[in-house]
Amino acid sequence: MTDRDVNLESIINRLLKVRGTRPDQYVQLQESEIRYLCHKARELLVSQPILLELEAPIKICGDVHGQYYDLLRLFEYGGYPPEANYLFLGDYVDRGKQSVECICLLLAYKIKYPENFFILRGNHECASINRIYGFYDECKRRYSVKLWKTFIDCFNCLPIAAIVEEKIFCMHGGLSPDLNSMEQIRRIMRPTDIPDCGLLCDLLWADPDRDINGWGENDRGVSFTFGSDVVNRFVQKHDIDLICRAHQCVEDGYEFFANRQLLTLFSAPNYCGEFDNADIETS
């Protein structure tokens, strides 16, 4: 499909049509339309840096995890694009029931507002993870395995981190013992899968830990945990004010760490019906 064949405005309008209806009502776009979103977004993503440099004001949002009606509620609260600029920190798919709608709306907004709407990669935007935790099965049930592979090709081109106003360093997971210079992130080539270890893995998988100093083993079995001393050294060395990340379900939708030098955001309220947590965005 070409730009002439696809009406992006129509796709967005259909995705938004379920606003105010009962939750779990699906929006069944045509597979060809979704394929267009993936291909168009992929072209756009690789044309922009892997380490984004963004300006305020911008609203920063945490994990979404297929909770489409909560994503719509987030836009109701913060303003639908282009009313506000957004940076999402990854984990759009898996666990929730409507991963397809979530990622399609985010990709559509990225295409429509390329300089105002930004989406980073989370650890669930990876074939080996979303093959297991729900997205693959949703694609297969509602569309095809081939479409899942098209999504993966797009995910492999997502940016990894962002710096807002040279002072807020944003990623999905956390810091890495291998990260000495921002230039190391800029040198990562796309498309890329997520390796089992190393800088790229850590940026998507690492977690802060109040009970340790330095680096520790991560209970996830991937990457590391890091203490407040690691955060202190990092922000001083790189002259930043805040590290902003997602990746963990926190009770109020946000949680500070290391003397408010690190902030965890989570934007999937009542996560899979299990946690009574609030959703949050920060601007």
Q: Which residues are catalytic?
A: 124
CA-wise closest residue to 162 among 81, 85, 248: 85
The residue type at 41 = A
Q: How far from the centroid of its chain's Cα atoms is residue 279's Cα?
A: 15
Residue pair 148/136 in contact by the 8 Å Cβ criterion: yes
Q: How far is CA 47 from the centre of its chain?
A: 18
DSSP symbols for the chain: --TTT--HHHHHHHHHTTTTS-TT------HHHHHHHHHHHHHHHHHS-SEEEE-SS-EEE-B-TT-HHHHHHHHHHH--TTSS-EEE-S--SSSSS-HHHHHHHHHHHHHHSTTTEEE---TTSSHHHHTTSSHHHHHHHHS-HHHHHHHHHHHTTS--EEEETTTEEEESS---TT---HHHHHT--SS-PPPSSSHHHHHHH-EE-TT-SSEEE-TTSSSEEE-HHHHHHHHHHHT-SEEEE--S--TTSEEEETTTTEEEEB--TTGGGT--PPP-EE-
For residue 191, is it left (φ>0), alpha (ψ between -120 and 50) or beta?
A: beta
Are the C-beta atoms of 7 and 14 separated by less than 8 Å?
Answer: no
